C-alpha cells in the first residue's frame, strides 16, 4: 500500500538528485503533456505559461491568492503524507476537511458573540482538528481492528460527509425562509485575521485577498509534523510500522495502534483546511468549500516526497497553478481552469503511479555519468602508481556495483544525514564485510580519502 516511500529500488543516486531532480523531471513531464494538450486545442502553451506566472506571482493580489490556495494544500498534503509514512493511503482528506470545517463553523456559530477573537480561534483550530480526526477515526478503527480496506472506507466517508453536510446545511443551519443553502454570517470580526488587514496596519498596502493567518498556522504545522515524524518516539514508530509492519511488531510497536494514531493526525491536519476556509475565508458555513483540495493533497504529498519542506514547495506551486489558472482562463477562454485539474492528475500519474519509470531512467543516466567520472579518477591514479594499476579500476568498478546494490534508505529520513557521510558509511561497511584477505589495494583508497575526513575511524587491527 505504501505509495510514497518509493526508495526501495536500489540506487547510487546522490540525495540532491533524488530530492531535487526527480520531482522536477516528473513535473516537467506533466508540463510537457499539458502543453501538448494545450497545443491540441489550438492555443499557444507559452502564452498560457506566461499568463499563469504573471497571474500567480505578478502582483501582491496574485501572491495573496496563491498563498491562500497553498494554505489548503499544505494541510491536505501533510495529511496525505503522514498517512503515507504509516503505509496508509488516506484518500479521505476531502471528507475530513469538510467535517473539520463543520467543527470550525460550529464553534463560530456558538461563540462568535460571547468569546473574544483569540480564544475563539484557538477553539476553532481545536474543533476543526477534533472533527477532522473523528471523521478519520472510523475508517482507521475498521482498518486496524477489522481489516477493512482503508482506501475504500475513506472514499465512502467522503460521500457520507457530503451527504451529512448537505443535510445539516439544508435542515439545521440554513436561515429560515432563505433560498441560499448557507448558514448565517459569523459576527463581525469573528474570523482569522486577514493578511492584507494586518499589513495595512503597518503601512503596506495589499489588495483584498482571502489570505489569512491560517497560512502561518500551516507553516507551524509543517514544523510540528517534521518534529513529530523525525524527532519523536511516536514518529519513529509510525515510520517503522509504515516501512515494515512485521519489523515494527517484532520491535514491540503495535501496527494497529500506529494506524489509528496516524489517521487521527492525518484527519486533524485535513480538518485544518476547514479552519482556513470557514473561519478564514467564507466566515459562514457553505457547501463544497473543499473543492477537490483533498485530492490535490495527494499530488502535493507525492511531489513533495512526503517531507514538510517539499510539501510547502509543492503547495505553493499548486497554489500558483490554481491562481494562475484562473488568470489564464480569463485571458485565453479556451483554456478553462479544468486544465489545472488535468495537470494535477498528471503530476499524480508521473510522480506516483509511474514513479518506477522516471526513477530508473534518471538513475541510469546518473550511473553512466558517475562511472565515467570514476574511470577518469582511476586513470589519474594509474598514472601515479603504476605498480598496482591493473587492480585499481577493477576494485573501483566492483565497489560501484556493490554500492549500487545496497538498498537506499527512504528518502525523507536520509535528509538527516549528509549525503557524503552516508556514502562513506556504505563504503566502509563494504570494506568490513569483505573480510580478511580482501584488503582493498592501497591506491583505491586514494580517491575516497578526498571525500571526507571520516576515514581514520577504523582501528588499525580491524580489516
By the criterion CB under 8 A, which residues form the site for another protein? 1, 3, 37, 41-42, 89, 91, 138-139, 142, 146-149, 151-153, 155-157, 159-160, 163-164, 166-167, 170-171, 295, 298-299, 302, 334-336, 338-346, 348-349, 352-357
Which CB sits closer to another protein, 125 or 343?
A: 343
Which CB sits closer to another protein, 83 or 423?
A: 83
Q: Is-contact 396 444, C-beta < 8 A? A: yes
How far apart, in whole angstroms, are the C-alpha atoms of residue 352 and residue 84?
A: 12
Give the shortest CB-372-to-another protein separation in angstroms: 27
Which CB sits closer to another protein, 114 or 171?
A: 171
**Residue 5 in 3-state DSSP?**
coil
Give the shortest CB-173-to-another protein separation in angstroms: 14
256-260: long-range contacts (C-beta < 8 A, 24 or more apart)?
256/144, 256/145, 257/144, 258/86, 259/86, 259/88, 259/140, 259/143, 259/144, 259/150, 260/137, 260/140, 260/141, 260/144
In angstroms, the Cα distances linking 385 to 17, 375, 431, 438 are: 34, 16, 22, 20
Cell numbers 583505491 correspond to what residue? Answer: 444
Give the shortest CB-139-to-another protein separation in angstroms: 8
> Which residues are paired to 212 by β-bridges?
194
**Residue 91 in 3-state DSSP?**
coil
Give the shortest CB-217-to-another protein separation in angstroms: 27
Which CB sits closer to another protein, 246 or 449?
A: 246
Cell readout for 197 is: 488587514
Give the shortest CB-288-to-another protein separation in angstroms: 12
Give the shortest CB-225-to-another protein separation in angstroms: 21
How far apart, in whole angstroms, are the C-alpha atoms of residue 284 and residue 292?
A: 19
Which CB sits closer to another protein, 40 or 205?
A: 40
Which CB sits closer to another protein, 103 or 297?
A: 297
In angstroms, the Cα distances linking 274 to 214, 345, 353 are: 10, 23, 29
Cell readout for 262 is: 496516524
Give the shortest CB-331-to-another protein separation in angstroms: 15
Give the shortest CB-66-to-another protein separation in angstroms: 20
> Which residues are paired to 194 by β-bridges?
212
Which CB sits closer to another protein, 176 or 437?
A: 176
How far apart, in whole angstroms, are the C-alpha atoms of residue 146 and residue 143?
A: 6
Cell numbers 499524480 correspond to what residue? Answer: 348
Which CB sits closer to another protein, 181 or 371?
A: 181
Buried b vs exposed e over 24-50: b needs ≥16 C-beta within 10 Å? ebbbebbbebbbebbeeeebebeebbe
Give the shortest CB-355-to-another protein separation in angstroms: 6
Which CB sits closer to another protein, 342 or 370?
A: 342
**Residue 109 in 3-state DSSP?**
helix
- The contacts of residue 282 (CB under 8 Å, 6+ apart) are 289
How far apart, in whole angstroms, are the C-alpha atoms of residue 113 and residue 111?
A: 5
Give the shortest CB-50-to-another protein separation in angstroms: 19
Which CB sits closer to another protein, 171 or 383?
A: 171
Give the shortest CB-145-to-another protein separation in angstroms: 9
Which CB sits closer to another protein, 112 or 327?
A: 327
Which CB sits closer to another protein, 336 or 385?
A: 336
In DSSP notation, 181-240 reads ---PPPPTT-SPPBHHHHHHHTT------S-BTHHHHHHHHHHHHHHHHHHSHHHHHHHH
Amino acid at each position: 500500500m505504501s505509495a510514497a516511500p518509493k526508495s526501495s529500488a536500489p540506487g547510487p543516486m546522490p540525495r540532491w538528485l533524488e530530492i531535487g531532480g526527480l520531482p522536477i523531471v516528473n513535473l516537467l513531464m506533466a508540463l510537457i503533456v499539458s502543453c501538448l494538450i494545450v497545443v491540441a486545442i489550438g492555443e499557444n502553451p507559452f502564452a498560457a505559461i506566461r499568463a499563469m506566472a504573471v497571474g500567480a506571482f505578478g502582483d501582491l493580489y496574485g501572491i495573496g491568492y496563491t498563498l491562500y490556495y497553498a494554505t489548503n494544500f499544505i494541510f491536505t498534503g501533510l495529511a496525505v503524507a503522514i498517512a503515507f509514512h504509516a503505509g496508509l493511503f488516506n484518500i479521505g482528506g476531502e471528507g475530513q476537511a469538510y467535517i473539520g470545517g463543520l467543527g470550525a463553523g460550529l464553534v463560530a456559530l456558538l461563540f462568535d458573540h460571547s468569546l473574544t477573537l483569540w480564544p475563539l480561534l484557538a477553539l476553532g483550530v481545536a474543533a476543526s482538528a477534533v472533527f477532522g480526526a473523528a471523521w478519520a477515526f472510523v475508517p482507521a478503527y475498521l482498518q486496524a481492528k477489522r481489516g477493512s480496506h482503508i482506501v475504500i472506507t475513506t472514499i465512502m466517508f467522503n460521500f457520507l460527509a457530503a451527504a451529512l453536510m448537505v443535510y445539516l446545511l439544508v435542515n439545521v443551519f440554513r436561515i429560515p425562509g432563505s433560498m441560499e443553502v448557507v448558514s448565517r454570517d459569523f459576527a463581525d470580526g469573528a474570523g482569522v485575521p486577514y493578511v492584507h488587514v494586518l499589513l495595512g496596519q503597518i503601512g503596506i498596502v495589499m489588495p483584498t485577498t482571502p489570505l489569512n493567518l491560517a497560512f502561518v498556522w500551516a507553516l507551524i504545522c509543517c514544523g510540528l509534523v517534521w518534529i513529530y515524524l523525525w524527532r519523536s518516539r511516536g514518529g519513529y514508530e509510525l515510520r517503522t510500522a509504515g516501512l515494515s509492519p512485521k519489523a515494527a511488531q517484532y520491535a514491540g510497536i503495535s501496527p494497529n495502534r500506529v494506524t489509528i494514531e496516524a489517521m487521527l493526525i492525518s484527519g486533524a491536519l485535513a480538518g485544518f483546511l476547514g479552519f482556513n476556509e470557514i473561519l478564514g475565508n467564507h466566515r459562514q458555513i457553505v457547501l463544497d468549500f473543499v473543492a477537490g483540495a483533498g485530492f490535490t493533497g495527494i499530488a502535493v504529498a507525492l511531489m513533495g516526497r512526503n517531507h514538510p519542506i517539499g510539501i510547502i514547495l509543492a503547495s505553493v506551486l499548486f497554489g500558483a497553478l490554481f491562481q494562475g489558472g484562473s488568470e489564464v482562463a480569463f485571458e485565453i477562454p479556451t483554456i478553462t481552469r479544468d486544465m489545472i485539474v488535468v495537470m494535477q492528475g498528471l503530476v499524480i500519474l508521473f510522480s506516483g503511479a509511474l514513479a518506477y519509470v522516471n526513477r530508473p531512467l534518471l538513475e541510469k543516466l546518473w550511473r553512466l555519468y558517475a562511472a565515467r567520472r570514476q574511470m577518469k579518477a582511476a586513470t589519474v591514479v594509474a598514472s601515479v602508481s603504476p605498480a598496482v594499476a591493473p587492480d585499481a579500476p577493477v576494485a573501483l568498478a566492483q565497489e560501484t556495483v556493490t554500492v549500487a546494490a545496497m538498498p537506499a534508505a527512504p528518502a525523507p529520513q536520509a535528509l538527516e544525514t549528509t549525503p557524503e557521510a552516508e556514502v562513506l558509511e556504505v563504503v566502509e561497511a563494504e570494506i568490513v564485510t569483505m573480510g580478511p584477505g580482501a584488503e582493498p589495494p592501497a591506491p583505491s583508497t586514494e580517491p575516497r580519502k578526498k571525500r571526507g575526513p571520516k576515514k581514520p575511524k577504523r582501528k588499525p587491527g580491524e580489516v
